[in-house]
Chains A and B, each alone.
Chain A
Amino acid sequence: MTTTASGKTRVPAIDGWFTTGDEPALLASRCEACGTYVFPPGPTWCPNPACSSTAFDEVRLGRRGRVWSFTDARYQPPPPFRAPEPYEPFAIAAVELVAEQLVVLGQVVGDVGCDDLAVGDEVELVVDTLFEDDDHEYLVWKWKPVATGVDGEGRADG
């Protein structure tokens, strides 16, 4: 938990779904028996119908992935979404994590629009402000394009 320059406390918008800090990552459960990853974390049973395990490890998902698809929100979504005034459209990406073989949806960081994105692009997970109230800044994971020219394999690095 940290504090912003304006004295607000920074807290996750939801508990237990991601880490914060320099190299934030999504948290998932991994089935001890069959290895299936589950995000969001905290399943009671393994979703694999051929596996009856109820034991899971908490793991971090890879911080980089490939854009499976993307869009944007030109109009303000209804509550419980909370948007700053005036409303600024934002991009949304579904990102494929290669090692874990799953796709995770998330907002794309603020200054990146659909024109800056393409299916297959490499992106990295960051933690950023979702919304604020008088005392708190609420955090969520977002996707950020990895600068072009960087050699990446789009797989877990931690």
Chain B
Amino acid sequence: MGDDGRRVAVLGAGMHPWGKWGRNFVEYGVKAANDALAEAGLAWTDVQFVAGADTIRNGYPGYVAGATFAQALGWNGTRVSSSYAACASGAQAIDSARTQILAGRCDVALVVGADTTPKGFFAPVGGERKADPDWLRFYLVGATNPTYFALYARRRMACYGATDADFAAVKVKNARHGAANPNARYRTPVTAEEVLASPMVADPLRLLEICATSDGGAALVLTSLEFARRHGHAEPVTVEAVSTVTPTFPQGRLEMPDLATDSAVAVPSGRRRFTAAVVQAAYDEAGVGPDDVDVAEVYDLSSALELDWYEDLGLCKEGEAERLLTDGDTTVGGRVPVNPSGGLSCFGEAIPAQAIAQVCELTWQLRGAAAGRQVEGARLGVTANQGLFGHGSSVVLRR
């Protein structure tokens, strides 16, 4: 158990269901915020700090998110922050709120992220941007996000003998989990045959194995432990760690949106992937390890990528993720369930909301409130997430 000076309480979690609603993202964020406040038993006027996670798809980064949500809820003179860190934006917003609380600058903070997404592949910002690696990868190679997911998937097949059936089995598992989640966008179970019959998008990945782009919103109410206890929460879910570390040179795995890796001629490549280092930093801060984990929410941008995360989380050795999956260890009811929410597979990606949504799910899991997909007796959970430009995050929660 970490010392109280480094932990904050999660008193409320809220979400707007994921979908393709086509409405203003602010609406999703406000709905999620109000649900989180209601769950915490607090009013908007109790909030002293608002941390927004930005979308880049809606004008000024989410109209500069923290302030937009504060205005929508009604200006009340709170301090605000806004975070953009690609897929890790939500985790940076959580960390912003957490550090404000730990620094003693406030007792009650609201974290909000929401997005409205266009149809189809994520595309870069428009114009001619020959200095922008994200623009260049589309221009020079036609490398979409699924291109990178597929490179990693093919690598698993070549290095560890992963099969199409393994990748399909991840989707089948997550679809079964998500069917019980009222906030998930896709709630229909699928069979391996259906997955393998869906169109190939980026060999070896098929349409049903690649995460969609979604609209959605998620919010959390974080408070100091002292405030939580004073308000009758003797044993709240707590944030034990938030990691948002960068890669370490030389970055040897080709990451979005880069066209090349670092060169390892001067400094040897590290043994561990960047994504493993992100998780390790969270474990270190929380003083825990893989054996302590009861449940995990990971960024399954593709079915195959979930298998990489098992190894990055230390749930098994490299090359053993397929066995962990087929043994049923990562299914609800198994040894260490992964993505009981259904994951990105059932949600699709609403970028600034996604890392917050992972924490919402673990909060409900640790409280025993995840009806239909509950991981029995879960006490410690970890999230993992990765996005463009060397961003990643991991959050450890405990009850």
Name A residues whose Cβ lies closer than 8 Å to a Cβ of B: 13-14, 31, 34-40, 47-51, 68-75, 77-81, 83, 90, 92, 94, 100-107, 114, 118-120, 130, 140
Q: Could you tell me if A71 and B202 are in contact, using CB atoms closer than 8 angstroms?
A: yes
Main secondary structure of the interface of A (DSSP, over half): loop
* Complex contacts, A120 vs chain B, CB 8 Å: 158
Known: A80-B135, A92-B141. A40 touches B260 (CB 8 A): yes
B262 contacts the other chain (CB 8 A): yes
* Complex contacts, B262 vs chain A, CB 8 Å: 36, 47, 102
Q: Could you tell me if A101 and B144 are in contact, using CB atoms closer than 8 angstroms?
A: no
In the complex, which of the residues B155, B199, B250 contacts A69, with contact meaning CB atoms closer than 8 Å? B155
* Complex contacts, A107 vs chain B, CB 8 Å: 141-142
Q: Could you tell me if B265 and A37 are in contact, using CB atoms closer than 8 angstroms?
A: yes
A130 to B136, CA, bound (A): 13
In the complex, which of the residues B141, B201, B260 contacts A103, with contact meaning CB atoms closer than 8 Å? B260
B121 contacts the other chain (CB 8 A): yes
* Complex contacts, A77 vs chain B, CB 8 Å: 121, 138, 142-144
Q: How many A-B residue pairs have CB under 8 A?
A: 139
Q: Could you tell me if B266 and A35 are in contact, using CB atoms closer than 8 angstroms?
A: yes
A59 to B155, CA, bound (A): 29
Digitize B191-219: 1 where CB-to-A-CB distance is under 8 Å, 0 elsewhere. Answer: 00000000111111100000000000000
* Complex contacts, B205 vs chain A, CB 8 Å: 71
A131 to B129, CA, bound (A): 17
B234 contacts the other chain (CB 8 A): no
Q: Could you tell me if B141 and A105 are in contact, using CB atoms closer than 8 angstroms?
A: yes
* Complex contacts, A37 vs chain B, CB 8 Å: 263, 265
Task: Quote the shortest CB–CB distance from A113 to chain B (angstroms).
Answer: 8
Q: Could you tell me if B128 and A39 are in contact, using CB atoms closer than 8 angstroms?
A: no
Known: A69-B154, A77-B138. A114 touches B266 (CB 8 A): no
Q: Could you tell me if B142 and A101 are in contact, using CB atoms closer than 8 angstroms?
A: no
Which of B145-153, B166-174, B236-244, B292-300 sits within the interface? B145-153
Which residues of B from 247 to 295 have beta carbons under 8 Å from A?
A: 249-250, 252, 254, 258-267, 269
* Complex contacts, A47 vs chain B, CB 8 Å: 249-250, 262
* Complex contacts, A73 vs chain B, CB 8 Å: 142, 144, 147, 202
Name B157's closest neighbour in chain A (CB-CB): A119
Q: Could you tell me if A71 and B265 are in contact, using CB atoms closer than 8 angstroms?
A: no
A94 to B254, CA, bound (A): 8
Q: Could you tell me if A39 and B260 are in contact, using CB atoms closer than 8 angstroms?
A: yes
Interface size class of B (residues with CB under 8 A): 35 or more
Task: Quote the shortest CB–CB distance from B279 to chain A (angstroms).
Answer: 22
Q: Could you tell me if A100 and B158 are in contact, using CB atoms closer than 8 angstroms?
A: no
Q: Could you tell me if B266 and A72 are in contact, using CB atoms closer than 8 angstroms?
A: no
Q: Could you tell me if A35 and B265 are in contact, using CB atoms closer than 8 angstroms?
A: yes
Digitize B332-347: 1 where CB-to-A-CB distance is under 8 Å, 0 elsewhere. Answer: 0000000000000000
B137 contacts the other chain (CB 8 A): yes
* Complex contacts, B200 vs chain A, CB 8 Å: 74
A6 to B399, CA, bound (A): 71
B368 contacts the other chain (CB 8 A): no
A130 to B159, CA, bound (A): 31
Task: Quote the shortest CB–CB distance from A99 to chain B (angstroms).
Answer: 8
Name B137's closest neighbour in chain A (CB-CB): A105
Digitize B109-150: 1 where CB-to-A-CB distance is under 8 Å, 0 elsewhere. Answer: 000000000001101101010100001111111111011001
Q: Could you tell me if A101 and B263 are in contact, using CB atoms closer than 8 angstroms?
A: yes
A35 to B263, CA, bound (A): 9
Q: Could you tell me if B266 and A94 are in contact, using CB atoms closer than 8 angstroms?
A: no
Name B126's closest neighbour in chain A (CB-CB): A79
A49 to B135, CA, bound (A): 26
Q: Could you tell me if A49 and B201 are in contact, using CB atoms closer than 8 angstroms?
A: no
